[in-house]
Amino acid sequence: MFGIFKVSKTNELRSISQYIQNMNAMKSQIVFLVILLFFSSCQQKKSSSNQTSYESFRPQYHFTPATGWMNDPNGMVYYEGEYHLFYQHYPDSTVWGPMHWGHAVSTDMVHWEHLPIALYPDSLGFIFSGSAVIDWKNTSGLGTLQTPPMVAIYTYHDPEGERTGRIDFQTQGIAYSVDKGRTWTKYEHNPVLPNPGIRDFRDPKVSWNEVSNQWVMTLAVKDHIEFYGSPDLKKWSKLSDFGNAIGAHGGVWECPDLFPLKDSRGSARWVLLVSMNPGGPQGGSATQYFIGDFDGKNFIPQDSKTRWIDYGADNYAGVTWSDIPASDGRRLFMGWMSNWQYANLVPTQAWRSATTLPREVTLEKKDSEYELNFKPIAEIEKIQGDAKTVSGSAILDHPLSLITFDVTENAFVVTLANEGKEYITVSFQQGILSFDRRNSGIIDFSDVFPAVHKMDLGDIHVKKVSLYLDLSSVEIFINDGERVMTEIIFPTKPYDQVKLEKENPQMNISTITSTLK
């Protein structure tokens, strides 16, 4: 940059006018430099007053894209020892834009390796959310029996169609990989499911259905779910509709998932997850679920109660991994840790958004009905250090990462703070758990972000609370996942102080400081 300031010697100037021209060019370069210095000093002041930098808030043990924008997790599938995570990604900016599928792999869902972008937008549109399966029997003919193809099923969103006022701009396409997800080929006859004339027609989640012996696609269609069946992932026909008169309807239905689950006594039910934006319990985006039966064609819910997978503001568009081996047997979930109310505004600079902790979903019978529990996967323990017990308040050497305690009374307040004046509180009183992020750190990027979020625990017996804290999030698990609250925060320094206020002197908390290995 400074190279362009080399001043030509007078004897090299061919004419007065050239001299004047050069002087003018130099003047405008100087003005430009002064403006640049002014803005960069403002920028520096701004970031030094907030004490934040390009990499501030980068989570220690949650997945984030290396750079650029991320929203929903997509195509989560397990194959040959690797957990694949694809995700809604815009590499050219930290705000939402033309969607690609970013890609990462992990052997434990905790340590991730970034891989090149898997799917780029093409003439049919942006690559919106969807799923991936291993086509073990090569029903699609896109691989072989020896090398079954990994097939991604996703929504094409045609921005041109949307701009010109058409309503059929979302269709479903497929792509396949025969090299463990490293390179992808789009199917030449896309789209495989055209649009029947509905604006919101997206986010296919596909799995092999043993009962009807075919692939079943669960699709979000505006205010309901549609199920489609296929013998080969290429030809799809409609099976049934579910949901326009049941569940929460404060917003558009998105990113569904359908899977069977057994309780600890071996009794099996079907689970349907449905994300919705807006209309969640804390405003904006959230995910509800239904439990019932699926006969290969129709979903019949056990009841008409609305249930949420998470009562916090920041767990959206989550679905479960496909093709987890039977020898593992877990149903593994991960969500996008943000909310469309402010996702594009959060104060990170290098990237935007993280995923939730991966969670194991279990089916629990409560009286005569079933509910889901979501607990952190066991692999998380690998990154935890030694526990310390704190009775009142303490300052720890390292950022906190896990705070757990057994609840022995009906009211308490836990405060996590940094050496500045930034803190969050988790309090419990009269059966209500409140999470207060009004003083959590940077909050002024959105009017709705600084808030107290409440979760009614009146119908459960609260025995244990676990707070998983990372540099820009806290995930609260009640009774190892009976209820969950996921929240993002932006403290300018990590919290290293913990305080427990309670009446019972016997009630202690156990703290584990951050030790990502």
Is residue 337 a contact point for ligand FRU (CB under 6 A)?
Answer: no
Q: Would you tell me how many other CB atoms lie within 10 Å of the CB of residue 283? A: 15
Q: Would you tell me how many other CB atoms lie within 10 Å of the CB of residue 392? A: 12
Binding mask of the shown chain, residues 10 to 49, with x at each position contacting ligand FRU by CB under 6 A? ----------------------------------------
Is residue 288 a contact point for ligand FRU (CB under 6 A)?
Answer: no
The answer to whether residues 80 and 136 touch, using CB atoms and an 8 Å cutoff, is no
Cα end-to-end distance, the chain, whole Å: 41
Backbone angles phi, psi at 434, to 5 degrees: -115, 135
What type of residue sits at position 44?
A: Q
72 catalytically annotated: yes
Task: Kindly write down the DSSP assignment for every residue of 309-338, as one continuous string.
Answer: S--SS--EEEEE-B---TTT--EEEEEES-
Is residue 128 a contact point for ligand FRU (CB under 6 A)?
Answer: yes
Give the 3-state DSSP-derived string for 222-244, with helices as H, strands as E and coil as C. CCEEEEEEECCCCCCEEEEEECC
Nearer to ligand FRU, 203 or 436 (CB): 203
Is residue 317 a contact point for ligand FRU (CB under 6 A)?
Answer: yes
Is residue 72 a contact point for ligand FRU (CB under 6 A)?
Answer: yes
Is residue 69 a contact point for ligand FRU (CB under 6 A)?
Answer: no
Nearest CA to 310 out of 486, 73, 71, 72 is that of: 486
Is residue 496 a contact point for ligand FRU (CB under 6 A)?
Answer: no
What type of residue sits at position 47?
A: S
Nearer to ligand FRU, 69 or 187 (CB): 69
Binding mask of the shown chain, residues 238 to 277, with x at each position contacting ligand FRU by CB under 6 A? ----------------xx----------------------
Is residue 310 a contact point for ligand FRU (CB under 6 A)?
Answer: no
Nearer to ligand FRU, 125 or 481 (CB): 125
Backbone angles phi, psi at 28, to 5 degrees: -65, -30
Is residue 203 a contact point for ligand FRU (CB under 6 A)?
Answer: yes
* Least distance CB 432 / ligand FRU (angstroms): 29
Q: What is the spatial distance between Cα 216 and Cα 207, in angstroms, rounded to a whole number?
A: 6
Nearest CA to 422 out of 502, 513, 490 is that of: 490
Q: What is the spatial distance between Cα 97 and Cα 169, in angstroms, rounded to a whole number?
A: 16
Strand partners, 291: 271
* Least distance CB 98 / ligand FRU (angstroms): 10
Is residue 99 a contact point for ligand FRU (CB under 6 A)?
Answer: yes
Nearer to ligand FRU, 71 or 320 (CB): 71
Q: What is the spatial distance between Cα 127 and Cα 139, in angstroms, rounded to a whole number?
A: 24
Is residue 131 a contact point for ligand FRU (CB under 6 A)?
Answer: no
Size of the site for ligand FRU (CB under 6 A): 12
* Least distance CB 99 / ligand FRU (angstroms): 5
| Interface residue list for ligand FRU (CB under 6 A) | 71-72, 88, 99, 128-129, 155, 202-203, 254-255, 317
Active site residues: 72
